[in-house]
């Protein structure tokens, strides 16, 4: 009986310390549509209306959407555990929608493309409105960006081109450049082709390779972490980014673990990513 009561007490304590994920949306004048996003709110968010939190933007991959990190990545469980143990700071985590399963006919991607100015939407509409509503971020020192695959590339490029906005970038299995420029069919609307072109046009590798000294100095103000499995088809791109940054004396951490391009790998990656962001938020 005592064991049962102890287990029940532990369960109640665990539940009491849990954060929550809420679904919200924003009307975008830039994209001409409503855009959904999930938000992780740490334990105590509703109780203390004066509290202000650092913010992490957590980006999903190609053919997924804003629910992926919650449902497939189990990020809420990970965030709760890390915050409870003190490995991560209490934080707000914003998971915006930037895609869907039909890669040919639905817009996917974090960059500006003809007919889909997502980067403008992210920085001019989503970021300021979400941070005001959820009492989070507000400065470079209180803001981080991370993501997987397409979202890993998006995170990297956002960190490169907006060094004044993010204290750290954690790139998981990042899609950093593209050579696949084939259309599905000639003269047919093909959003996957446009995405591939945008990834190539925003190549994170070329950005570092061509960076002048002023750009390099700006990149050095961001903390970088590159995390990719040894069997991942994007492995070479990720290692190449790390090598290019070393050549320019831009400090970055590289982790290569046993794994592939899948949720098993990213579930473990997020356990390192949130503490990394926490360590690099301003005090």
Tell me the DSSP string of 193-250: HHHHHHHHHT-HHHHHHT--HHHHHHHTTSEEEEEEETT-TTHHHHHHHHHHHHHTT-
Residue 186 has pLDDT above 80, yes or no: no
Residue 52 has pLDDT above 80, yes or no: yes
Residue 15 has pLDDT above 60, yes or no: no
Higher pLDDT, 23 or 183: 23
Higher pLDDT, 215 or 9: 215
CA 36, 39, 45, 46 torsion-angle sign? positive
Q: What is the pLDDT of residue 190?
A: 84
Q: How confident is the model at residue 105 (pLDDT cuts 50, 70, 90)?
A: confident
Residue 69 has pLDDT above 80, yes or no: yes
Segment 199-257, tens digit of pLDDT: 999 999 999 999 999 999 999 999 999 999 999 999 999 999 999 999 999 999 999 99
Q: What is the pLDDT of residue 2?
A: 53
Higher pLDDT, 147 or 8: 147
Only one residue has tokens 């029940």, namely: 8
**CA atoms within 13 A of residue 233's CA, in its CB half-sphere:** 6
Which of 241, 187, 233 is CA-nearest to residue 209? 241
Q: How confident is the model at residue 81 (pLDDT cuts 50, 70, 90)?
A: very high
- Report CA dihedral (100, 105, 111, 116) to the nearest 10 degrees: -110
Q: What is the pLDDT of residue 179?
A: 83
Which of 240, 239, 233 is CA-nearest to residue 259? 233
CA 230, 231, 234, 237 torsion-angle sign? positive
Separation of alpha carbons 195 and 257, rounded Å: 28
Q: Is 248 exposed, middle or buried (0-12, 13-18, 19+ CB in 10 A)?
A: middle
Residue 3 has pLDDT above 80, yes or no: no
Q: What is the pLDDT of residue 9?
A: 44
Q: What does pTM read for this prediction?
A: 0.92
Q: How confident is the model at residue 183 (pLDDT cuts 50, 70, 90)?
A: low
Q: Mean per-residue pLDDT for 258-265?
A: 97
Separation of alpha carbons 14 and 196, rounded Å: 44
Q: What is the pLDDT of residue 102?
A: 84
Only one residue has tokens 């974090």, namely: 110
Q: What is the pLDDT of residue 185?
A: 59
């Amino acid at each position: 009986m005592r064991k049962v009561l102890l287990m029940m007490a532990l369960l109640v304590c665990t539940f009491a310390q849990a954060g929550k994920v809420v679904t919200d949306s924003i009307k975008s004048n830039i994209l001409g549509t409503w855009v959904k996003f999930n938000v992780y709110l740490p334990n105590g968010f509703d109780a203390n209306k004066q509290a202000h939190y650092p913010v992490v933007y957590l980006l999903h991959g190609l053919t997924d959407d804003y629910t992926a990190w919650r449902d497939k990545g189990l990020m809420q469980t990970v965030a709760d555990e890390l915050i409870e143990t003190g490995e991560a700071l209490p934080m707000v985590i914003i998971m915006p929608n930037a895609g869907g399963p039909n890669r040919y006919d639905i817009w996917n991607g974090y960059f500006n493309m003809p007919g889909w100015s997502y980067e403008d939407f992210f920085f001019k509409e989503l970021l300021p409105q979400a941070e005001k509503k959820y009492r989070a971020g507000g400065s470079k020192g209180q803001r981080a960006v991370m993501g997987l695959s397409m979202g890993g590339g998006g995170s990297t490029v956002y960190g490169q081109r907006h060094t004044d906005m993010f204290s750290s970038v954690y790139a998981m299995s990042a899609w950093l450049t593209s050579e696949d420029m084939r259309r599905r069919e000639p003269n047919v609307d093909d959003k996957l082709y446009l995405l591939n072109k945008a990834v190539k046009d925003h190549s994170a590798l070329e950005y570092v390779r061509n960076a002048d000294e002023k750009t390099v100095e700006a990149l050095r103000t961001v903390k970088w972490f590159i995390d990719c499995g040894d069997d991942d088809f994007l492995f070479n791109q990720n290692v190449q980014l790390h090598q290019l940054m070393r050549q320019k004396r831009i400090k970055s951490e590289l982790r290569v673990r046993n794994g592939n391009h899948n949720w098993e790998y990213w579930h473990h990656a997020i356990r390192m990513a949130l503490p990394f962001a926490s360590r690099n938020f301003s005090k």
